[in-house]
Structure formats: C-alpha cells, structure tokens
Amino acid sequence: MIKRQKAFYENKKKNLVTRFWYFIRNRTLNSFRKELGLENEIHFLHLNWLGELKNKKVLDLGCYEGNSLSFHLAKHSKEYVGIDLSEKAIKSLGKRLKEFPHARVYATDFLSKNFQEKDFDIIYAYGVLHHFKDTDQLIIKLKEKLKPNAKIISYDPLSTSLPVKTIRRLYRPFQSDKDWEWPFSKKVYYKYAENFEILDRRAVLGKTKWLFLMNGLPISAEKKSALSKKWHHQDISFSKVNDAHMFRCMQLTMLMQFKNK
C-alpha cells in the first residue's frame, strides 16, 4: 500500500470517481473557505499555537513539497525535519530550504525503522494523521518521537457527521486513494484524547456546510454572507467545548501535548 500511496502523490493520477469528487468538493466548499477566510484563519491559529521556535526541534510530518507553514518552521526553528513518502516532492522541498543549514528532509515512511530522528518538541501534521489506518500504531510512534511535554498540531477531516458519513460511504469504495484515507471517527478522536492532553481544538464546516443548499433560494448575497459568518463563528466557538457540535463538523484541528507518565 505504501508504494501505491507514494505513486499516487508523485504522479497525481486519479480515477474518474476521484476526479469527479474533487471537482464537486472543491466547487462547493472552496467558495465557503474563501468567503470565510478559513485558510488564513487556520494558518494564523497554527502560528499562535506554534509560538517561539528558536529552541525547538520540529517535525513537519507529511509535508509534501511544503505546506503553508513549512518555510516558517524551517526559518525559525532550531532544527527542522521534513518527511514525506514522495521522493519527487522532498527533492523539491530540499531545494527550497537549502538556505537553512539546520533543515533536513527525508523521503521516508514515518512508521518505518529507517526513520531514526526523534526528540521532537513539535510535530506539525497538516492533513496527515487521517492517512494512517492503524491509529494505535501511529500513536505509539508519535510518543516515541516526542520529548516529554512536546506538542502536536493536527488538521484532519472528520467522518462523524451523518450526512457526510453517508456520502463518503457511497463514493469512497471507488476512489483511487481509498486505502489511505481515514477521516477521524469518534473512536479515533477519543483515542487521541486518551493518549494526549488536548490543549485546544477548533472544528469547522459544521452548520456552515449547509449553505450550499441556499444557492437556489431568493436570499441576498449580503444576508447569505452574514449568515455564513454567524454559523462559522458558532462552529468555531461551540466546537471548543461541545463534543456534539464538534462531531457535526467536517474538519478538526487540534493542539495536543504529550505527557510522559
């Protein structure tokens, strides 16, 4: 499976079902993200969670050619390590980071014995943890790589909303990447909660995801925009403290801390 996953991301080959779903998802959700400024909001939230990095050893897990914070992590940390399965992507990232002598990148599997780096202060995993089917195995490996009191920042899709779960069950069996796409279930979330202290969390696209149903209704753009911002604020606020509301959302970001007992 690792070889197929690597080939998928290096060659970007998607079957018809996968391409159709990406088109539908991007067309319906990207407009919401743009209108709400969601990407920027998550970006600055993660910057705040990262804090001062000058004495930190950071792992950029599943970084591909570099995510929105890879350059920041490499520039400001004491040590930066980026890993991804794709040799092509890592080669490209290595060229971009060549000005930082303390930055190292590897094309490797995080779970492999070949990856020897450890004692990380921060693991940044943007859209990565849900690619691991065996959550127990992943958590064991995360703990092996972290220092006591070290932190993990994650951002992953949830499969806990009934409508979204139903839709995924219809299309997932036919997608090219079905074997390494495992959006968080309630069970998976609580496994992380049992093994790490969740210092903060925010879920998005809960109530907001239903806005696409309003496209055909006679509602002004101003009213729709106001409603989307109101619902988004509720998603962000309520998901911090209310599990039920969090599980109605489509995406979850968490700041977790490893307590070595």
- Say which residue, 217 or 54, is predicted with more confidence: 54
pLDDT bracket for residue 184 (50, 70, 90): very high
**What are 12-61's pLDDT values in tens digits?**
566 555 565 565 556 556 666 666 778 899 999 999 999 999 999 999 99
CATH number given to 2-203+248-257: 3.40.50.150
Q: What is the pLDDT of residue 161?
A: 83
Q: How do residues 92-138 score in pLDDT, each as one tens digit?
A: 999 999 999 999 999 999 999 999 999 999 999 999 999 999 999 99
Q: Quick one: CA dihedral 106, 107, 110, 116, positive or negative?
A: negative
Mean pLDDT of the chain: 86
Query: pTM for the full model?
Result: 0.86
DSSP classification of residue 255: E
Strand, coil or helix: what is 1?
Answer: coil
Rounded distance, CA 204 to CA 200, Å? 14
The arrangement of strands across the sheet holding 57-61 comes to: 103-107, 79-84, 57-61, 120-126, 146-157, 251-257, 197-204
Domain spans in the chain, listed from the N-terminal domain onward: 2-203+248-257
> What pLDDT score was predicted for residue 33?
64
Reduce the DSSP state of residue 104 to 3 states and report it.
Answer: strand
Write the pLDDT tens digit of every residue in 149-165.
999 999 999 999 877 76
Rounded distance, CA 50 to CA 190, Å? 23
